[in-house]
Amino acid sequence: MSENVRLYAFADEAGAKISAQVAAMKRNGLDGVELRGTEFGNVSDLKPEHAKEIKRIFDGEGLKVWSLGSPLGKIGILDPFEPEIQRLKRTLEIAYILGAPNIRIFSFYIPRGERPETHRTEVIDRLSEMARITDTLHSGISLCHENEKGIYGENDTRCFEILESVHEIAGVFDPANFVQSGVDTLKAWVLLKDKIRYLHIKDALSDGRVTPAGKGEGNVEKIVSEFISMGGTAMTVEPHLKVFSGLKDLEREGERSGVGEIYEYPDSDSAFDAACKAIKELIK
């Protein structure tokens, strides 16, 4: 594996407890975590004292909190915005305590049956306000938008609109999410690659089922290779190979995630290890 590559993971897919997450990261030789779920709740709902304890544990193990896998922006575009602003402020405080330079965000669910373009102005206005608040409170922390099924930025062209309109926001590229949204990942990569901060390593088949990296239709090997050749270093492994605690909180009601539908593993640790092994083999 390239000495410049830094591999992180959503380690809550190995276990909800921080101790299990540390063990999984150490076992797989990872550099750290994109922190999402913990025994204390979702990362955006952590109390400062819990964040300080997690920071102490990770520092002791030589592990970095690369990003917070927050649910910010994973509400309906017609839902009240003020509660989300308050959640952003709490999440920024947690990121500061943990020393996390990035916070993953989304661009709001669009009502089913409605044209996303109808809500473009409101989406951009909300994201611009989130970027302004972040710069005001903690200018060293970056908001990073992930393409996700059902949100405004679920395809490549609308992701590009967001990143062009709100320059303070960087991109997270998730090949599996694009596949599940019917987007050609290579076409999306060409359009977005200059605006991508880091990758989420997840692959999928066109029918929506999630696979280890390189076993699906996301062109993960080619995208990873180009990302590294461009100087990219950071990737977060997001296994999604087995149903895990907290998965239901990531899914929009009525939508199918494709998790655990094709590959079988005896436990969460095995699924997590398989996902890490797959990306390491691609990088070689």
Query: Domain spans of the chain?
Result: 6-283
**Is residue 153 within 8 Å of 109, Cβ to Cβ?**
no
Is the alpha carbon torsion for 50, 55, 57, 63 positive or negative? positive
Average pLDDT over residues 16-44: 97
What does the pLDDT look like over 233-248, one tens digit per residue? 999 999 988 765 555 5
Strand 142-146 vs strand 102-105: parallel, antiparallel, or unpaired?
A: parallel
Distances (CA, A) of 37 to 199, 238, 245: 19, 13, 9
C-alpha radius of gyration, the chain, whole number: 17
Task: Of 144, 137, 265, 169, give the one whose Cα is nearest residue 210.
Answer: 265
Asked if the model's pLDDT at residue 228 lies above 90, the reply is yes
Q: Which residues sit opposite 103 in a β-bridge?
A: 68, 143
More confident residue, 45 or 250: 45
Output the average pLDDT for the chain. 94
Question: What is the pLDDT, as a whole number, of residue 42?
Answer: 96
Region 249-254: mean pLDDT is 60
Which tokens in the block code for residue 238? 């997001």
User: Other CB atoms closer than 10 Å to residue 122's CB: what's the count?
Assistant: 14
pLDDT digits (tens, 9 = 90+) for 181-203: 999 999 999 999 999 999 999 99
The pLDDT, as a whole number, for residue 246 is 58
User: Quick one: average pLDDT of 210-233?
Assistant: 97
Backbone angles phi, psi at 241, to 5 degrees: -100, -10
Residues 27 and 274: their CA atoms lie apart, in Å, by 12
d(CA 170, CA 234): 13
pLDDT of residue 263: 76
Q: What is the model's pLDDT at position 257?
A: 55
Cα 40–Cα 42–Cα 48 angle in degrees, nearest 5: 60
Q: What percent of the chain has pLDDT over 70?
A: 92
pLDDT in tens, 259-280: 556 678 889 999 999 999 999 9
Give the helix ranges, DSSP H, for the chain: 18-27, 48-61, 82-98, 120-137, 156-165, 175-180, 185-192, 220-229, 268-283
Topology at the third CATH level for domain 6-283: TIM Barrel (3.20.20)
Tens of pLDDT, residues 157-167: 999 999 999 99
Position 264 scores a pLDDT of 80
pTM: predicted TM-score of the whole model, two decimal places: 0.93
pLDDT band at 3 (very low <50, low <70, confident <90, very high): confident
